[in-house]
Amino acid sequence: MTLRPVARALDTALDRAVVPGFSRIGYAVRRRLPTWPADPAVGSLAGRHVAVTGATSGLGVATARQLSELGAHVHLVVRNADKAVAVAADLPGPSTTWVCDLGDLDSVRDCARRIVADGLELHALVHNAGAMPPERTESPQGHELSMSLHVLGPVLLTDLLLPALTAHEGRVVLVTSGGMYAQKLPVDDPEYVSGEYSGATAYARSKRAQVELLPVLTTRWAADGVAVYAMHPGWASTPGVTESLPTFDKVVGPILRDADAGADTTTWLVATTPRARGGGLWMDRRERPTAYLGRNSPSSDERRRLWEWVASALDVTP
Would you say 206 and 175 are in contact if contact means Cβ atoms under 8 Å apart?
no
Q: How many CB atoms lie within 10 A of CB 145?
A: 23
Give kind and range of the element (H or E) at residue 180: none
For residue 259, which phi and psi values (nearest 5 degrees)? -65, -35
Q: What is the CA radius of gyration of the chain?
A: 18
Active site residue 292: no
Catalytic residue among 197, 203, 229, 292: 203
Closest CA to 124 of 83, 82, 174: 174
CA dist., res. 288 & res. 94, Å (int): 34
Strands 281-283 and 286-288, how do they pair?
A: antiparallel
Q: In the β-sheet with 286-288, what is the strand arrangement from edge to edge?
A: 95-99, 73-78, 49-53, 122-127, 171-175, 227-231, 281-283, 286-288
Q: β-strand 281-283 against 122-127: which pairing, if any?
A: unpaired
Which residue type, as a one-letter code, is found at position 254? P
H helices of the chain, in order, are 4-17, 19-22, 24-31, 58-69, 81-90, 105-117, 145-147, 153-165, 199-212, 214-222, 239-244, 246-252, 259-271, 300-314
Rama region for 284: left / alpha / beta (φ>0; ψ in -120 to 50; rest)? left
Catalytic residues: 203
